Amino acid sequence: MEEIKREIQGRYNDEEIDLLQLLLDMGKHFRHLWWLCVLLVLGSAALVTGALFVLRSPMYQSSASFTVATGEESGSYSFYYDSGTADQLSMTFPYILESGYFRSVLLEHLGTNNLNGTITAETISGSNVVTMKVQSSSPQDAYAILTTAIEIYPEAAHFVLGDISFSMLTQPQIPSEPYNRPSIGKSCLLGAGLGMLLSMAILLLLAIFRKNVCAKEEMRKITSMRCLAMLPRVHVKARTKKRTMQLSFLNPSLPHGYTESIRVLKNRVVKAMESKNQKVLLVTSTVSGEGKSVTAVNLAGQLAIDGARVLLVDGDLRKQQDGQLLNLTAEYGLMEACKESDMAAVWKGIERNSATLQESGLLFLGGGKVLNQPASLLNSSELKRCMQSLRAEVDYIIIDSPPCGMFQDTAILAEYVDSVLYLVGYDRLPASAIREGIHALGGQLATFLGYAFNSCPENRGGDGYGYGKYGYGRYGMYGYSGRKER
């Protein structure tokens, strides 16, 4: 318990837990894991209902009600009529049923050594009305025990109550169905309730222990890098869900707020790089799905629109999908460029790729064959020569690299660039994962230009838009190894 308490205090900076924020975090996790909560509720309902029907043994109950009368010397019988004698009856009747003498007489009359059932009796307060019940796993045994108990009780109780007789109100019957048959409705409600409690517990634990980075203050604990932009989340409207919305500067429907945020990022990138006389920028992130490709494409496009000669390089040789964001069918990438001995041929390939981008002025190198093991190519002298030649011909080179927390490709590509722009998905990863990704590039010659938050909600920066998902599916959602924080 002390370890859990210290963990909670550490994650909330030794402050009192903000219950409102805790509830908001639980709601956030519910939006991502609602399907798991539904499965837990349905699964618990089915499990509890099934367990009650399978594991519960059927029990049968036979009962009878009667009045008790006392005998007088004349041989006639009179009812208990006052409260005193009625109270005596209510205390004495169950006592006799539980006595060893009554049990031995009952077993003798039944002709068995074991009593397959339990006998109880209830008296109505202030009266001589008694209800006797027998519960047993056998309906026949329940009936037999009850009828025999009623038959022998006056004789067994003679020394305590004197002469008594029963006047039957309801006769014993052989029970036709178990009295403890579970109700499907109540069982389902019980199971669903347990599933809901389990879901709430899981969401609460996630809200307490799984704290993802979603603020500049949290990033300051990880790195001294400057935050260059807070890119908003783009909400895809319902009428556009049936088709893929390209989050590209070429899309005229791209929200103005997102475009303005990219422009802010571009201005800060240009200012920082010009101050250091830099040209080549690598854009990366910790894992896939954080939006680095979309950001790289739109940053390069914004630079080109403003008049710079910009080359966008798809450095993710394992995927090669930046062309899709540009609506291109490009087939000339780094692999093809490194095979050329003449840079004029390389430029011809780039011009073929960029033929449909002439209006924006953006140049594109990418979209060639996928290479599953690109390390040898990235380390080759041909790529080094090619990058040096390309650098001399353009104002800026923007390289979209693989996630640095998943592959070593980014660390190799970092040797060819001047600066690194690190993209952080808002509320996507814990601090330890981001720290590992940054450390993976920390030993390279390239310097970090800064970082940008991506997919920020309205109240966390940006202009009321949000950022939609652009898949990195073949790499999986996460893909970092979960190594311990350094």
pLDDT of residue 459: 57
| Residue-by-residue pLDDT tens, the chain, 486 positions | 455 445 445 544 444 456 877 887 888 788 888 999 999 999 999 998 888 888 888 899 999 999 888 765 434 445 444 455 556 666 777 788 888 889 999 999 999 999 999 999 888 877 788 899 999 999 999 999 999 999 999 888 887 777 888 889 999 999 999 988 878 888 899 999 999 999 999 988 888 877 788 888 889 989 999 999 999 988 765 454 445 557 888 888 888 889 999 999 999 999 999 999 999 999 999 999 899 999 999 999 999 999 999 999 999 999 888 998 898 888 899 999 999 989 999 999 999 999 888 888 999 999 878 888 999 999 999 999 999 999 999 999 999 999 988 888 999 999 999 999 999 999 889 889 999 999 888 766 668 999 999 988 865 544 333 333 333 334 433 333 333 333
The tally of domains found in the chain comes to 3
Q: Which residues contact 141 (CB under 8 A, 6 or more apart)?
A: 116, 117
Q: What is the pLDDT of residue 2?
A: 54
Q: Do 352 and 437 fall into the same domain?
A: yes
Residue 405 phi, psi dihedral angles, 5° rounding: -85, 0
Which pLDDT does position 485 carry in this prediction?
35
The predicted pLDDT at position 207 comes to: 82
Same domain, 129 and 192: no
Using the structure block, give the residue that is written with the tokens 């059932």: 117
Decide if 295 is inside a domain.
yes
Other residues' Cβ atoms within 10 Å of the Cβ of residue 359: 9
Domain identity same for 385 and 439: yes
Indicate the pTM of the whole model. Answer: 0.62
DSSP H helices in 229-283:
256-275
Q: In sequence order, what are the beta bridge partners of 451?
A: 227, 422
Q: What is the amino acid identity at position 94?
A: P
How many Cα atoms occupy the beta-carbon half-sphere of 224 within 13 Å? 2
Residue 166 contacts residue 68 (beta carbons within 8 Å): yes
In Å, how far are 109, 227, 271, 380 from 443, measured between CA atoms? 93, 21, 25, 20
What DSSP character marks residue 364? E
**Of the residues 170, 200, 227, which one is the last residue of a structural domain?**
170
Contact 137, 58 (CB under 8 A): yes
Q: DSSP string covering 59-115, please?
A: -EEEEEEEEEEEE-TTS-EEE--SHHHHHHHHHHHHHHHTSHHHHHHHHHHHT-SS-
Look at residue 482 and tell me if it is in a domain.
no
- 190 is in which domain, residue-wise? 2-56+182-209
137 and 22 in a common domain: no
- Single-letter residue type at 349: G
Residue 73 sits in the same domain as residue 138: yes
The reply to whether 43 and 135 lie within a common domain is: no
- One-letter amino acid of 64: A
Residue with tokens 């009295």: 179
Which residues does 7 contact at the CB level (< 8 Å), separation at least 6?
Answer: 209
At 287 the three-state DSSP class reads: coil
What is the rounded distance in angstroms from the CA atom of residue 390 to the CA atom of residue 150? 106
Q: Which of 142, 170, 198 is the last residue of a domain?
A: 170
If asked whether residues 290 and 154 sit together in one domain, one would say no
CATH of the domain at 362: 3.40.50.300
483 lies in some domain: no
Q: Which residues contact 20 (CB under 8 A, 6 or more apart)?
A: none
Together in a domain, 235 and 200: no
**What are the backbone dihedrals phi and psi of residue 312, each rounded to the nearest 5 degrees, phi first?**
-95, 125
